[in-house]
Amino acid sequence: MSTERAIVHMDLDTFFVSCERLLDNRLIGKPVLIGGTSDRGVVAACSYETRMFGVHSAMPMRMAKQLCPEAIILRGNSGTYTKFSKMVTDIVKENVPLYEKTSIDEFYIDLTGMDTFFGSHQLASELRQNIIKNTGLPISFGLSINKTVSKIATGEAKPNNEIKIDKGLEKPFLSPLSVKKIPMVGEVTYRTLCDLGIKKIKTVQEMPLEMMAKVLGKNGIAIWRKSQGIDPSPVLQYQERKSISTERTFEKDTTDVVKLEGIIAAMTENLTYQLRRGNKLTACVTFKIRYSDFQTYTLQKKIPYSAADHKIIPLVKELYKKLYQRRLLVRLIGVKFSHLVEGGHQIDLFDDHEKTINLTQAMDKMRERYGDRAVMRAVGMQAKSISRGNPFNGEPPPLLAHRRR
């Protein structure tokens, strides 16, 4: 059996935008921005059509609108993205021996040894076509002997394509690319390297390891190794996350108690729905509040395993009332569920009523068909008018790993 590593990096192209285009084909070919719709919001994802104007993720929405005034701006729907991501994950899980899910739209797959039976490149190509056929989502991949080269190769393969880098060709492949392509080279490190006249990976490849270590310390050593195509890090078996959370930052700091309680109810209701859809239960609830002076406080409470709105919403409000100081303006509030386990809602024979159970199931069916915000409690309607940004505002979509596109 071959001992040569075969590592695939797969990445769904402009994932949030692609999901929205599947739901509305009028968006195909149009410049699309997804994220906070107010001027204080940020871009969570953008289509290729907007990038030619200089737009990128994490950019303030106000700036993005100035650069690309014709862009169609969507708030986005975390439930939709969660659903599509799960579809892709299920296909990957069924077809490969070992995979690592590093974000909502990104996977590493270890196909080492598969050449003996099938062919790593052929298997990866067929898996990609399987995903495209069954989900309608564009996806790209890179295949090489390690994670770093494969991830960079995926970037070069986009949009909606694939690249294989044969063993021994890692350095020639990397050589002409920008050092910014190397994972772990952020803006600060990139500027430092540019100040030294280092803009291409080729320059790093030709530098002595000692010099990189002197300039950037341990990071310099890691960057030098990656530039040589050296990366022994393993693909780690994917594990479900153990918590989900959501935060809301107000467009204007507030002391409006009615609105605060409304948005708390809406946030909690959304998270409990995500629990039920993911067949999860939580045993710990945490509430977070940040005031206008940026002082931040959290309080948590352990509870019997549950995913029921009518049980958890009162608990979150109880934590809020313990933390809230009425004389201070509130900037941000957040809710987190942790200690998650597999399992459906356990009916409490003493507290649950058939009417409550039927109502919850009916609401969930409506959300599943028409989206997360298709139906909500009246008290939660206040939430829509005072929050900004992505509904998960810096947090990963529930039950999935994190990546800001």
202-207: long-range contacts at Cβ-Cβ below 8 A with a sequence spacing of 24 or more?
A: 202/175, 202/176, 203/179, 204/179, 205/171, 205/174, 205/175
Which amino acids are annotated catalytic?
106
DSSP 26: G
Q: Give CA 376 to chain center in angstroms.
A: 24
Q: Give dist(CA 43, CA 20) in Å, integer.
A: 15
64: exposed, middle or buried (Cβ count in 10 Å: 0-12, 13-18, 19+): buried
Pairing mode, strands 72-74 and 32-35: parallel
User: Are the CB atoms for 18 and 137 separated by under 8 Å?
Assistant: yes
Angle at 167 between CA 163 and CA 170, to 5 degrees: 70
244: exposed, middle or buried (Cβ count in 10 Å: 0-12, 13-18, 19+): buried
What are φ and ψ of residue 222, in 5° steps?
-65, -40
Q: Which residue has the tokens 């509130």?
A: 330
User: Are the CB atoms for 343 and 281 separated by under 8 Å?
Assistant: yes
Angle at 169 between CA 139 and CA 125, to 5 degrees: 25
Residue 336, both tokens: 């987190």
DSSP character string of 322-358: HH--TTS-EEEEEEEEES-EE-PPPP-TTT--HHHHH
